[in-house]
Amino acid sequence: MAPPVPSCIRRSLSPTSKNAASLRKYPRHWATCQAPASGSFLSLRNCPLTAAHRLQRSMMAMSISTTSWLLLWRSGGGNVTALPIAPPPRILSTEKWRASRVLPQRLYRISGYSFGEPYFGRSGGNRFDAPGWKFNKAEYGACYLGYTLEVAMAESILHDQMPIDGKFLIANTVLQNSYVYRFTGDSLLLLNLTGALLKKLSGHGDLTGTSSYGVPQQWALAVFNNPARYDGFIYASRHATLGKAVMLFDRAEAKITQSIFTPLIETPGYAKAAKQFAIVGM
State whether 97 and 75 are in the same domain.
Answer: no
Provide the pLDDT confidence category of residue 196 given band limits of 50, 70 and 90.
very high
Please report the pLDDT score of residue 241 as a whole number.
80
Please report the pLDDT score of residue 224 as a whole number.
98
State whether 53 and 96 are in the same domain.
Answer: no
Q: Is residue 135 part of a domain?
A: yes
With a cut of 80, say whether residue 14 has pLDDT above it.
no
Instruction: Let me know: does 216 contact 207? Beta carbons within 8 Å.
Output: yes
State whether 213 and 131 are in the same domain.
Answer: yes
Please report the pLDDT score of residue 77 as a whole number.
54
Q: Is residue 48 part of a domain?
A: yes
Q: Is residue 247 part of a domain?
A: yes
Please report the pLDDT score of residue 79 as a whole number.
63
State whether 54 and 186 are in the same domain.
Answer: no
Give the count of beta carbons closer than 10 Å to the beta carbon of residue 197. Answer: 15
Instruction: Tell me which of 81, 103, 135 is where a domain ends.
Output: 81
State whether 75 and 112 are in the same domain.
Answer: no
Q: Is residue 86 part of a domain?
A: no
State whether 111 and 157 are in the same domain.
Answer: yes
Instruction: Tell me which of 47, 62, 81 is where a domain ends.
Output: 81
Please report the pLDDT score of residue 24 as a whole number.
42
Q: Is residue 5 part of a domain?
A: yes
Q: Is residue 43 part of a domain?
A: yes
Instruction: Please write the tens of the pLDDT for every residue from 118-157.
Output: 999 999 989 999 999 988 999 999 999 999 999 999 999 8
State whether 239 and 150 are in the same domain.
Answer: yes
Please report the pLDDT score of residue 58 as a whole number.
38
For all residues of the chain together, what is the average pLDDT?
78
Instruction: Please write the tens of the pLDDT for every residue from 207-249.
Output: 998 888 999 999 999 999 999 999 999 999 998 888 999 999 9
Provide the pLDDT confidence category of residue 54 given band limits of 50, 70 and 90.
very low
State whether 124 and 28 are in the same domain.
Answer: no
Say which DSSP state 153 is in.
H
Instruction: Let me know: does 85 contact 204? Beta carbons within 8 Å.
Output: yes
With a cut of 90, say whether residue 18 has pLDDT above it.
no
b (16+ CB within 10 A) / e for 22-37: bbeebeebbeebebee
Please report the pLDDT score of residue 266 as a whole number.
92
Instruction: Tell me which of 57, 81, 105 is where a domain ends.
Output: 81
State whether 228 and 95 are in the same domain.
Answer: yes
Instruction: Please write the tens of the pLDDT for every residue from 21-53.
Output: 443 443 333 333 333 333 333 333 344 443 334
Instruction: Let me know: does 110 contact 239? Beta carbons within 8 Å.
Output: no
Helix (H), strand (E) at residue 271:
helix 270-277
Residue type, 52: A
State whether 24 and 116 are in the same domain.
Answer: no
**Total structural domains within the chain:** 2
Instruction: Please write the tens of the pLDDT for every residue from 66-120.
Output: 455 445 555 555 566 778 888 999 999 999 999 999 999 999 999 998 888 999 9
Domain residues for 54? 1-81
With a cut of 80, say whether residue 273 has pLDDT above it.
yes
State whether 17 and 98 are in the same domain.
Answer: no
Kindly tell me the burial class for residue 225, based on how many C-beta atoms sit within 10 Å of its own C-beta (0-12, 13-18, 19 or more). middle
State whether 77 and 95 are in the same domain.
Answer: no
Instruction: Let me know: does 155 contact 146? Beta carbons within 8 Å.
Output: yes
